[in-house]
A and B are shown apart, each in its own frame.
Chain A
């Protein structure tokens, strides 16, 4: 069991001045699973992701991603982890292929072999018909999918997806969730998914963690959390009900 833990933190803490954004966070993500990373806005989810990528220094505690400490081996960790930031931005005057080319170059991929890789990634996210369009004219949903393609280009072991469904219409959001599930299944990519679309998180997550005010208040499978909060019963609780219950208690 211990061998396939891919992300592990112990007492990870981040303080900005007197404010504690992340408060002794301890949790694990297993290899190959979809981990739903939930919590209200400002709970410290993004800060945690940044620390796991080595982009932000932790004040205390430590983290391990793919067996490496992100603060010491930021470059190696970033090679294996694809990060899709919340409200990700694009160079509006490049087209999809050029955008991916730049990301591929930054990952040290050059030459002829990347062209196929780029086209594959774009096909995988369903943007094959819009290769030559400038990203500036893309819709929000297309931009998000391009963001996923940018993550795929480096063949990540883990994906950190920060609100990938934010601002998408119901159809787009559900397609995005299907895409994430397919990537998890077909490419065996571990996914750390932060989202407010609880129904969809419930649909694809193996386990969830609920973070409130910098603390992880719950971690486990949805069934286990339901059992913990509501006891054993006939009713099947939705993630939304569980989430609200935790939220009210804090």
Chain B
């Protein structure tokens, strides 16, 4: 434990004093300021003279201002935080000749990788919590609305989901920093995988869905047309769930927006979901929202853990030398 704590403290200090962190944090703080300001101004205009909706405060986070909402921003660029914090964690120390020195101290070898991962995860948590607080503060100022208990709970759950999501990318870049000896290679590889998983999977999903179940608007009967549309949407959804970004977007979108009753597309809703969506215009209670995103949540936690466990095993089995 003593070794783990020492590594953790050192890594955390390194993160906070590095230019990398300062730039990253400045960038994110700036985007958070701008998006929340836009969202706040937008909301203020739209809500003028209208009966106040129940969860105004949460709208600060998912109202698209000029470009994107905060939830979308974290889904797209959150991975970069994880990648930047981890891509050179192991291979830089190996190249500098400090890794061998550290592991020849009386610590277990896993203290190095655990400490690094935990320090990264802590940094991520601090970044996320501070963004959410900044936006909340803006919300208070611009809208003059105080968040209710349920809204606070939803924000906390949102932060937890986001921490796991970004930690997944941290674990991935840590893995690359163990696999690749060269810092530049591991940085490129992680960015490549980020682009692939975030952008190309959804593209591939629609291509695959259209080629397996083409929706033909001209020929065919009404029934086959319906079947094909459903099948098309099914394939699209299943394939795009392979992307952690889709997984996260559905989960975080649903938890932030109580009016969202399901994570699936409109055509894929089951009879009960359809009923609740069409009949009841009230927001979902928190427990129900959690239930809806439960599979996503489990999958997100699972992939981040799996990713870390693979890095752990590879690191433990690797020769220290070379």
Contact = CB atoms under 8 A, between A and B. Distances in A.
A85 B107 contact: no
Contact of A150 (B3, B101, B108, B320): B101
B107 A75 contact: yes
B97 A106 contact: no
A5 interface: no
A83 interface: yes
Contacts of A88: 97, 100-101
A103 B105 contact: yes
Interface in A74-116: 75-76, 78-79, 83, 85, 87-93, 102-103, 105-108
Contacts of B105: 78, 103, 106-107, 154
B217 interface: no
A85 B10 CA distance: 21
Interface in B1-27: 2-3, 5-7, 9-10, 17
A106 B320 contact: no
A53 interface: yes
B218 interface: no
B278 interface: no
B101 A89 contact: yes
A70 to B, nearest CB: 11
The secondary structure that dominates the B interface is: helix
A41 interface: no
Interface residues of B, number: 24
B48 interface: no
A95 B102 CA distance: 17
A91 B106 CA distance: 19
A1 to B, nearest CB: 30
Interface string B45-74: 000000000000000000000000000000
A85 B106 contact: no
B98 A91 contact: yes
Contact of B320 (A55, A87, A90, A105): A55
B96 to A, nearest CB: 4
Contacts, number: 67
A47 B7 CA distance: 26
A75 B3 CA distance: 11
A106 B98 contact: no
Given A90-B98, A106-B3, A50 B106 contact: no
Nearest to B105: A106
Contacts of A79: 106
B186 to A, nearest CB: 18
Contacts of A76: 106
Residue from B3, B10, B101, B104 with most neighbouring chain A CB atoms (10 Å): B104
A47 B5 CA distance: 29
A108 B111 CA distance: 13
A89 B321 contact: no
B252 to A, nearest CB: 36
A85 B9 CA distance: 24
A105 to B, nearest CB: 4
A46 B104 CA distance: 13
A106 B6 contact: yes
B6 A85 contact: no
A46 B321 contact: yes
A75 B108 contact: yes
Interface string B286-322: 0000000000000000000000000000000001110
A85 B108 contact: no
Contact of A107 (B9, B97, B101, B106): B106
Given A55-B100, A89-B96, A89-B98, 14 more contacts: A47-B321, A53-B104, A55-B103, A75-B106, A78-B105, A78-B106, A83-B101, A83-B104, A85-B101, A93-B17, A103-B105, A105-B5, A107-B105, A154-B105
7 contacts: A55-B100, A55-B320, A56-B319, A88-B100, A91-B96, A106-B102, A106-B106
Interface of A: 46-47, 50, 53, 55-56, 75-76, 78-79, 83, 85, 87-93, 102-103, 105-108, 150, 154
